[in-house]
Amino acid sequence: MKTPYSQALASIACGTLFGFGLALSGMLDPARVQGFLDIFGVWDPSLMFVLGGAVMVAMTGMLLIKTMARPVLAEQFHLPIATRIDRPLILGSAIFGIGWGLGGLCPGPAVAALPMGYGATLLFVVTMLMGMIIHDRFVAGKIT
């Protein structure tokens, strides 16, 4: 049953479950990610299994979407419509990958790791948010 707060509650529940999964898998530790990328040193393959599990969950969700007329808590699905691989996609992917490799965090684990109180994580999240604002203001033109 859809209530005024149902979307917010579902978002909080999903975010909490996602954060718990990241913590349980050890992905809140930047050294774990950097260990995965260190293929010539002490390689840590655990990230590969976490990513594999995430792909299976996402594939299940995408298959479920095909059987539904509309989402439970929205009027329509909001799926990507762009199918072309273009320069902004490649540049954005490269920037994301470089930041992920250097910092050992991506947005989800960084936000989930904030309560741990590490200064480096806070710095990562602040600069990530600044980058998002700068992009929206100057590149995408979304903020007025």
pLDDT tens per residue, range 18-35: 989 989 988 888 888 888
pLDDT at 104: 85
Q: Tens digits of per-residue pLDDT, 55-101?
A: 999 999 999 999 999 998 888 998 888 889 999 889 989 988 888 88
Q: How far does CA 102 lie from the centroid of its chain?
A: 16
Contact 65, 77 (CB under 8 A): yes
How much is the mean pLDDT over the chain? Answer: 88
The pLDDT-based confidence of 37 (bands split at 50, 70, 90) is confident
pLDDT at 88: 86
pLDDT at 105: 87
Question: At residue 132, what is the residue type?
Answer: M
State yes or no: pLDDT of 130 exceeds 90. yes
The residues near 128 (Cβ < 8 Å, ≥ 6 apart) are: 99, 107, 110
Contact 28, 109 (CB under 8 A): yes
